[in-house]
Protein backbone atom coordinates (compact mmCIF):
# COMPACT_ATOMS: atom_id res chain seq x y z
CA UNK A 1 0.00 0.00 0.00
CA UNK A 2 1.11 3.53 -0.71
CA UNK A 3 2.31 5.68 2.17
CA UNK A 4 -0.14 8.33 3.33
CA UNK A 5 -3.15 6.46 2.00
CA UNK A 6 -6.25 8.09 3.49
CA UNK A 7 -9.40 6.70 5.03
CA UNK A 8 -11.66 9.63 5.86
CA UNK A 9 -14.80 9.09 7.91
CA UNK A 10 -17.44 11.79 7.47
CA UNK A 11 -20.07 11.34 10.14
CA UNK A 12 -22.93 13.28 11.62
CA UNK A 13 -26.65 13.31 12.12
CA UNK A 14 -29.14 13.26 9.24
CA UNK A 15 -29.57 16.65 7.58
CA UNK A 16 -26.26 18.12 8.69
CA UNK A 17 -24.90 18.26 5.15
CA UNK A 18 -22.38 15.46 5.53
CA UNK A 19 -23.17 13.85 2.17
CA UNK A 20 -22.96 17.13 0.26
CA UNK A 21 -19.65 17.85 1.95
CA UNK A 22 -18.28 14.31 1.53
CA UNK A 23 -19.08 14.26 -2.19
CA UNK A 24 -17.39 17.63 -2.72
CA UNK A 25 -14.34 16.62 -0.67
CA UNK A 26 -14.02 13.33 -2.57
CA UNK A 27 -14.01 15.19 -5.86
CA UNK A 28 -11.50 17.75 -4.55
CA UNK A 29 -8.97 15.18 -3.31
CA UNK A 30 -9.73 12.44 -5.86
CA UNK A 31 -11.05 9.89 -3.38
CA UNK A 32 -13.78 7.26 -3.64
CA UNK A 33 -16.98 8.41 -1.90
CA UNK A 34 -19.01 5.66 -0.20
CA UNK A 35 -22.43 6.69 1.12
CA UNK A 36 -24.83 4.56 3.17
CA UNK A 37 -27.94 5.84 1.39
CA UNK A 38 -26.49 5.05 -2.04
CA UNK A 39 -25.37 1.59 -0.93
CA UNK A 40 -28.79 0.94 0.63
CA UNK A 41 -30.34 1.82 -2.74
CA UNK A 42 -27.85 -0.33 -4.70
CA UNK A 43 -28.59 -3.32 -2.46
CA UNK A 44 -32.35 -2.88 -3.00
CA UNK A 45 -32.89 -2.01 0.66
CA UNK A 46 -34.41 1.45 0.29
CA UNK A 47 -36.83 2.17 3.13
CA UNK A 48 -35.31 -0.49 5.41
CA UNK A 49 -33.66 0.82 8.56
CA UNK A 50 -33.78 -2.12 10.96
CA UNK A 51 -30.61 -3.16 12.79
CA UNK A 52 -29.93 -6.11 10.47
CA UNK A 53 -30.17 -3.93 7.35
CA UNK A 54 -27.93 -1.25 8.86
CA UNK A 55 -25.35 -3.90 9.76
CA UNK A 56 -25.46 -5.27 6.20
CA UNK A 57 -24.90 -1.79 4.74
CA UNK A 58 -22.03 -0.95 7.10
CA UNK A 59 -20.46 -4.36 6.41
CA UNK A 60 -20.68 -3.71 2.67
CA UNK A 61 -19.02 -0.33 3.18
CA UNK A 62 -16.30 -1.91 5.32
CA UNK A 63 -15.61 -4.59 2.69
CA UNK A 64 -15.53 -2.07 -0.15
CA UNK A 65 -13.29 0.23 1.87
CA UNK A 66 -10.86 -2.62 2.56
CA UNK A 67 -10.75 -3.60 -1.12
CA UNK A 68 -10.26 -0.02 -2.36
CA UNK A 69 -7.57 0.80 0.19
CA UNK A 70 -5.71 -2.35 -0.85
CA UNK A 71 -5.99 -1.03 -4.43
CA UNK A 72 -4.24 2.17 -3.21
CA UNK A 73 -7.30 4.37 -3.47
CA UNK A 74 -8.17 6.99 -0.86
CA UNK A 75 -11.67 6.43 0.53
CA UNK A 76 -14.24 8.72 2.12
CA UNK A 77 -16.93 6.86 4.07
CA UNK A 78 -20.05 8.99 4.51
CA UNK A 79 -22.41 7.65 7.17
CA UNK A 80 -24.08 8.62 10.40
CA UNK A 81 -21.74 6.39 12.43
CA UNK A 82 -24.05 6.86 15.41
CA UNK A 83 -22.58 4.05 17.48
CA UNK A 84 -19.08 3.11 18.53
CA UNK A 85 -19.24 -0.48 17.22
CA UNK A 86 -18.87 0.49 13.55
CA UNK A 87 -16.45 3.31 14.33
CA UNK A 88 -14.19 0.77 16.01
CA UNK A 89 -14.38 -1.61 13.05
CA UNK A 90 -13.26 1.10 10.62
CA UNK A 91 -10.54 2.22 13.03
CA UNK A 92 -9.27 -1.39 13.25
CA UNK A 93 -9.27 -1.63 9.45
CA UNK A 94 -7.11 1.49 9.20
CA UNK A 95 -4.75 0.12 11.84
CA UNK A 96 -4.57 -3.23 10.06
CA UNK A 97 -3.80 -1.64 6.68
CA UNK A 98 -1.47 1.00 8.17
CA UNK A 99 -3.31 3.88 6.57
CA UNK A 100 -4.14 7.29 7.99
CA UNK A 101 -7.70 7.55 9.29
CA UNK A 102 -9.30 10.91 9.94
CA UNK A 103 -12.64 11.51 11.58
CA UNK A 104 -14.71 14.48 10.40
CA UNK A 105 -18.03 15.31 12.03
CA UNK A 106 -20.48 17.60 10.24
CA UNK A 107 -22.91 19.53 12.43
CA UNK A 108 -25.64 22.15 11.99
CA UNK A 109 -28.27 23.68 14.24
CA UNK A 110 -31.65 22.00 14.46
CA UNK A 111 -33.57 24.76 12.67
CA UNK A 112 -31.37 24.31 9.58
CA UNK A 113 -31.63 20.52 9.84
CA UNK A 114 -35.43 20.72 10.07
CA UNK A 115 -35.48 22.76 6.82
CA UNK A 116 -33.07 20.42 5.04
CA UNK A 117 -34.82 17.16 5.90
CA UNK A 118 -38.19 18.62 4.90
CA UNK A 119 -36.91 18.82 1.30
CA UNK A 120 -36.84 15.84 -1.05
CA UNK A 121 -33.32 14.44 -1.39
CA UNK A 122 -32.08 12.00 -4.01
CA UNK A 123 -31.11 9.11 -1.73
CA UNK A 124 -31.81 10.04 1.89
CA UNK A 125 -35.23 9.27 3.29
CA UNK A 126 -34.54 10.67 6.76
CA UNK A 127 -37.06 13.19 8.06
CA UNK A 128 -36.97 15.21 11.29
CA UNK A 129 -38.34 12.34 13.39
CA UNK A 130 -35.47 10.14 12.14
CA UNK A 131 -33.01 12.93 12.97
CA UNK A 132 -34.34 13.14 16.55
CA UNK A 133 -34.22 9.36 17.02
CA UNK A 134 -30.62 9.16 15.80
CA UNK A 135 -29.65 12.25 17.85
CA UNK A 136 -31.05 10.74 21.03
CA UNK A 137 -29.08 7.50 20.53
CA UNK A 138 -25.82 8.98 19.18
CA UNK A 139 -22.72 7.73 21.00
CA UNK A 140 -20.07 10.39 21.65
CA UNK A 141 -17.08 9.96 19.32
CA UNK A 142 -14.04 8.69 21.22
CA UNK A 143 -11.52 9.48 18.48
CA UNK A 144 -9.82 12.77 17.80
CA UNK A 145 -11.96 14.50 15.19
CA UNK A 146 -12.62 17.76 13.40
CA UNK A 147 -16.06 19.35 13.73
CA UNK A 148 -17.28 21.16 10.62
CA UNK A 149 -20.30 23.47 10.86
CA UNK A 150 -22.33 23.39 7.66
CA UNK A 151 -24.63 26.10 9.02
CA UNK A 152 -21.70 28.51 9.44
CA UNK A 153 -19.46 27.70 6.46
CA UNK A 154 -19.88 27.13 2.74
CA UNK A 155 -18.82 23.74 1.39
CA UNK A 156 -15.62 25.14 -0.13
CA UNK A 157 -14.65 26.58 3.27
CA UNK A 158 -15.34 23.25 4.95
CA UNK A 159 -13.14 21.53 2.36
CA UNK A 160 -10.26 23.89 3.14
CA UNK A 161 -10.69 23.30 6.89
CA UNK A 162 -10.75 19.55 6.31
CA UNK A 163 -7.69 19.59 4.05
CA UNK A 164 -5.69 21.52 6.67
CA UNK A 165 -6.77 18.98 9.29
CA UNK A 166 -5.99 16.03 7.00
CA UNK A 167 -2.56 17.44 6.22
CA UNK A 168 -1.78 17.73 9.94
CA UNK A 169 -3.10 14.19 10.54
CA UNK A 170 -0.90 12.79 7.76
CA UNK A 171 2.18 14.51 9.15
CA UNK A 172 1.52 13.02 12.58
CA UNK A 173 0.92 9.45 11.42
Domains of the chain: 6-172 (3.40.50.300)
CA 71 from centre of chain: 20
pTM greater than 0.85 (yes/no): yes
Model pLDDT for residues 37-59, shown as the tens digit of each residue: 899 889 988 877 788 989 999 99
Q: In this predicted structure, what is the pLDDT of residue 122?
A: 52
Q: Is residue 67 pLDDT above 80, yes or no?
A: yes
Alpha-carbon span 131 to 143, nearest angstrom: 22
Query: How many other C-beta atoms are found inside a 10 Å radius of the C-beta of residue 77?
Result: 26
In the chain the beta strands, taken as DSSP E runs, fall at 6-11, 32-35, 75-78, 100-107, 145-149
Amino acid sequence: MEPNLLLIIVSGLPGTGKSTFAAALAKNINALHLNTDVIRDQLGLRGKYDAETKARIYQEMLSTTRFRLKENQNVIVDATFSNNEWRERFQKLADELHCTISWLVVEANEAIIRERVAKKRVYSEADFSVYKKVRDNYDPIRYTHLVLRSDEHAVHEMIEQAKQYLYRSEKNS
